[in-house]
Structure 1
Amino acid sequence: MIEAAMIWNEPNNKSHWDPEIDPDWSRFAHMAKLAADAIRDVNPSLTRVLGGISPIDPDFLALMKSYGVLDHVDAVAAHGFPLDWNLWQIHEWPQKIEELRAVTDLPIWVSEVGVSTFGAEEVQLWGLRRTAELLKGRVERIQWYSLYDLPRAWPATTRHKEAEGSSYYRHFYMGLLREDGSPKPALEEFAKHTPDIGLMQWFHFEDHRLFDAVKWMKRLGVTYLRTGLSWADRFRPDALAWFDRQMEALEDFNVTVTFCFTPQHRGIAPHHTSAPMVPEEFAAFCAEMTSRYARPSKSLDLIGRSPHSSGQPMRPMSFPTQPRE
């Protein structure tokens, strides 16, 4: 059911990896290599992607290269939110991609890019159009974050909390759909760019939005989806039943699964961002999920590359401006 496995999420962001425990990222590099090898041993044809870096930092990618991590993966990924959190402007996207290409010849995925409607919904509409102009044909995969707004009753997965003012609250307004499921103006624009642009949508444990999300993605013409399977959730009662239900619901899509989140009782510190006490346990989780959900046979050359992976412009295609019923 999955076409690619992503190893962790935003490893250079303190919201997802604690730099006080691992200041030189050597623990992360060791864990990532173990996980990549475990995935390969179970399914050699599955594309392995280094977790999307945020901020986009070629020096961090160079550090991973020096540790040998890039020799164990098939693609690298980056996340960018220049209209909300990054300290650069949206028109700098091509420059940011070229900075990464100077470090590696591996395919580059933009596995999260999005615009919050915190200030105005019209900003998201403009940002989506401009993002498509700047990235389509320039990278091997683009995935828009996200389909749904984060429910206000849920916490955002970040260490920053309200300490950064509106930056925290912007997390709750990244969707093309509002919390109540009603569409924002950018939804029709997004439909013009599928399947070239896919989606990134986290599904929380036993997420009530799962089946409605599937209906929406099919209406929008989405074929590429990125989501996550949490190592921490693996220790919940009935975890495999939820994982099975989630992955079965998503079986009609080309799914990239992100493996991440340390169980509190298996971390050096009791937090999901902590380096694990035993990194081999994370690798074993990746192997278990790969064995359970990965498609058994696809050529590596055909996996994980969008139709425009050669860098050449795609031929014009026609997509509906309204979600399909």
Structure 2
Amino acid sequence: MKVWKFRISLGWLCSDILRAVDNTIQSSFTDARTRIVQRIKDEADALLAQVGHTTSAVNDIGRKFIHDTFDTARTTATVVFLLLLISSIVSNVLLVCGLIGGLNLVFGRLLFDRKLSPRVTPTKPLGFRLDQTAGSPAKLEYVAKNQIALTDVGYDHRKMPDWFVDLRTTRSGEGTHMRLCVPQPISLALRRIFSGRYLMTRISLSSETTESSKPTISVLGDAKIVCIKVAEGQRVIFRVADLRAFSMALKLRSVYTAHVGTHILGLGAFYAVAEGKGHLILASDGEQVKLAPNGGSFLSESMLCWDSRSEFTLAQVPSFLGIWLNEPSLVSNSVSGSGLLDEGRPNGSGMMVRLWRLFRFLFMPF
């Protein structure tokens, strides 16, 4: 097929799959034939040892060998054609889905380009957001410090006195001894397991805690502990790798979507959301954390968290190489402060990550 002036062929993907299946089948057929020949030879040797080298015995052995070999070849051929048919159908379906996903990416990049996209108003271009529910994003309330005392967060300790804290987060003060638990075991289970945040420690707060013994959490180096207040009805998107703690009232969940925006934001098909009324604590990579300004341009990797209803457009070079090889910058289309930027994040993804994003749709089209 042609994409603009370039001819692209992806037939190699199907041919490689079929070639691998064919080699596997041929190897299995050869092994099966060798085993049958050896079994018939053993039976022939045993029969000859009993009845001698008579003509009738040899004829019986020959007929049995021909019959068994023919049945094996027929069965193997049937299985071969069936597997080839199945693999051909599966590879073609994956190829079509991959092409649809790739075209979805290209069209999404062009559709949400701040210069090329249709205008909602004369001055406002069409943007994208992951949460399609009605309403506008709210400004995030947050505190960023080197250490945070959990009793100072502005929290009703009598109604909900517990926090769940990552085991690798430095903690001190009353009640911060290890109390292993698995909070919300189903929520974000796989991501928390692979990031080492499935097991956490539980900290119970008390209104009788003295000033000198307040339960405190901190991180090392120039990183900051960022505590975000999640209001009732608000949903905050974050990356599980940044999670350090959350209050018991907060609900974590995983959301699946095929929206091209998750690819642009570097989230994948599943992304993490915190909702309910409570507090979410994340760790920044750098010393400076600030609110994302309306109309400001920044890389998706620099975003620490944002309201799920935040809207973005793209700043990019709308060319063939620009679409496929260059990462776009995000331009906030929402109220200032609906997201948080971590200025210590690396500027852009590594080469392997960029290649994976480029070819992901050929292997994981959904």
Same-fold call, TM cutoff 0.5 = no
The structure where strand makes up a greater share of residues is: 2
Q: Structure with the greater relative contact order (CA < 8 A, sep ≥ 6): 1 or 2?
A: 1
Q: How does the TM-score come out when normalised to structure 1?
A: 0.19
Larger Rg: 2
